[in-house]
Structure 1
């Protein structure tokens, strides 16, 4: 009886402690708002001091149920579209519906970038993720043409095409199982390195690729700079990357204009000037390159892997996509070597497959802004200085936006383009991902050649998926690539 009594007392004390700690934490961050502003906050849960909602967030994603985190807010507080929380060490309003996300993303005066400390420090304080609007607009204008311009894409296409063809041949000729995702990431890294820093030897590329992988794992982690934590390891990886890039920059500057032709992104960033004649500093160039490495390598590799898997799992989709690519091949003149941009623009159904993969997989599942003034959305207040966390995943998996959202269905993209705010893999507005066209070109070229001549056979087709930092099979898609046709003419 005494044991039972003490157990009940301990349980009651735990409940009181939990409630008290949560209440004190919520009061600490909201008391200064005053009564009226506090009443206008969206419903939510600030969680425990320091950690807030991070434990629940990490538990949901690491358990293989990423939607459970936001679903818990919807279940407790209703479908309000906005919820207050404490995320990544900041008071936050989580924005989870299409219209609300659109309002935040399109208002560059009321909302500036608000990425977590880990992301800013790893990608770089001089990168686009941390720039004020005017500086972002200036640098975006300077770097847009060398990435997504017609001439740039045309010049990149030949190398991408050649790399894909030779890589697929190598995989199939080895006649052994490979980690498909790992090899895809290596291939896209070689492509992006050629575009941004041509002439790097294999040893340097392997070193950079390994370091970048370590950096990427710390991108969504809490900024705990202690040995054993992902952020600490990622910071060390960033130092390695900066050292190599700085060495190459020094060599390029020492050679000067007469030393080599302007052939890659690094050369262009060294040479570019704005209207007032200002050139980029070394730390600006390095941070911009690291940001583009993330946009043009990591996401492309993952989406290509998933699109290949989904088509292999859906024979009707694969057959339709393959028929389109065969038709494109039949119309290529005999004198043409490889693909050109006109062929790329004809890949309409394949574009639907890629868009559906982007929606379904949600590589970039969340984005961050910070309110510069009090803003009301759906009648709820986002206070000045608070973070707005935009949950793209919730928009893409919303059954009111996409019927049967857990079904992979490229046909949903036939017809008019999606309403603004409902499709956000590259963001929206002035801060739309600057490498989106290049990424889709990379993915399309690989899928074109794969569909025409190869087959993927997974070793563990039902293996679990890990969702952080990006969704991927735990075995990195262990599979065998088999050549099944030579009809593609390559």
Structure 2
């Protein structure tokens, strides 16, 4: 026994030293891979570290976002390296720079000479190479110009209002008789029904349920590690994309055939507009472009709206003073309505000043979009540091929206902070991004949210079943029980 234990002091320190040496070597792999080629310029990189080989800093990112404190990921960077606002990391398979302040985010999002879209290859495989997030700058301008009016134009938004309003009224009445149900799940179904009808005139429950399930799998994969092995979220997301593309391609093919047989149809939806649009050179969109645009719009058009509506109703219910103020504004809309008018108008939705503040504050607090990805087109100097050409740049919206210098007591839901014309400094409020790549469906999303809240505030209240339910932050911020609740008449 004594002879055996006498070896412990000899081998144990060697074993510990070996472990530390292996860890040191592993942490140097990404440095050798990505920094050695920079020569002397590597000394001008921002502070930070590139994490482990291949996986980089993804484990610490995912670990933080699976806790109740997702901001601990960025906070750790600040604690270790100081409030620089610019940090080097290795995220989503690429050497990356995270920027966390309004000024740095604004520059990255608006300087098209220095930065281009830089979404990870894994994300591009899911969202589509011909979608807005993947195409070159000139192609993006062309596609945005061709689709802007059919999505966000005054005439288009006015045409969408009656259908949105009809579905909102029907859904709220139905939910008030259901007892306990998953509020978020049904909101997503409602917003998906609306966006499906606007884009492809489809109201089939079976089609919508099937597609919505595939979108759920797709979104989990967007923020996951790109491991294409059965059982992993990314693998499931790739399978979901394949099914979505097949479904949309079938719809596009069928629509083209219908138009050949009956070109005199008066009713046009977004798909018809996408088929018809052509640029100044007579170039039209091909099927791949149309499918990727549909896939992106239908995803963003129901996920962001559904989640924002849920959180806005929860926040208002938790803050009676804001709820009463928002309700009074909606009652005033009705009182001022001309006799004989049925339903909301676009003009009325733009008179909802306080409700707009509620929506903006909700978007700020929940930060639906975690980050936007850009890529440096050339070596870029920022805050005294180098962003090397080809490196990804992540605009960290959560830190921007929680900046106490711009938004005092930032974790507090307070729509009144937007009173008296308060306009945050440029780059401090980015719920839909900024610059030439601003979310193309932002006006439609806010219209949908406003119409729902208008009718909810006038007649209904929500009561959550479990107010202490934990919150999950990936792929989007939501209660783990999908907000079990009851809707009731006031």
CA distance in 2, matches of 1:11, 1:265: 64
CA distance in 2, matches of 1:4, 1:425: 58
User: Aligned with 2:249: secondary structure?
Assistant: helix
CA distance in 1, matches of 2:29, 2:219: 35
* Alignment partner of 2:99 out of 67, 77, 95: 95
CA distance in 2, matches of 1:199, 1:358: 29
Alignment of 1:36-435 (within 5 A): 37-174=41-178, 176-256=179-259, 258-259=262-263, 260-414=265-419, 415-435=421-441
CA contact (8 A) 2:193 2:203 kept: no
Of 458-467 and 325-334, the range deviating more from structure 2: 325-334
Shift of 1:350: 0.6
User: Aligned with 1:406: secondary structure?
Assistant: coil
CA contact (8 A) 1:262 1:268 kept: no
C-alpha deviations, 1:319-359, integer Å up to 9, x for none? 11111111111111231111111110111001111101101
Shift of 1:12: 3.0
Shift of 1:128: 0.5
Q: TM-score, normalised by structure 2?
A: 0.96
Gaps in structure 2 of 5+ consecutive residues: none
CA distance in 1, matches of 2:309, 2:8: 59
Shift of 1:261: 3.3
Q: TM-score, normalised by structure 1?
A: 0.96
Shift of 1:217: 1.3
C-alpha deviations, 1:134-170, integer Å up to 9, x for none? 0000000000000110000000011001110000000
C-alpha deviations, 1:423-450, integer Å up to 9, x for none? 0110011110000010000101111111
CA contact (8 A) 1:118 1:220 kept: no
User: Aligned with 2:222: secondary structure?
Assistant: coil
CA contact (8 A) 2:406 2:425 kept: no
C-alpha deviations, 1:110-146, integer Å up to 9, x for none? 1110112222111111001101110000000000000
* Alignment partner of 1:24 out of 10, 24, 29: 29
CA contact (8 A) 2:406 2:424 kept: no
CA contact (8 A) 1:122 1:234 kept: yes
CA distance in 2, matches of 1:313, 1:184: 19
User: Aligned with 2:176: secondary structure?
Assistant: helix
Instruction: Tell me the matched-pair count.
Output: 482
Q: Could you say if the C-alpha distance between residues 4 and 196 of structure 1 is closer, same or farther in structure 2, counting changes exceeding 3 Å? A: farther
Alignment of 1:479 with 2:485, yes or no, is yes
Shift of 1:370: 0.4
C-alpha deviations, 1:165-192, integer Å up to 9, x for none? 0000000022x10100000000000000
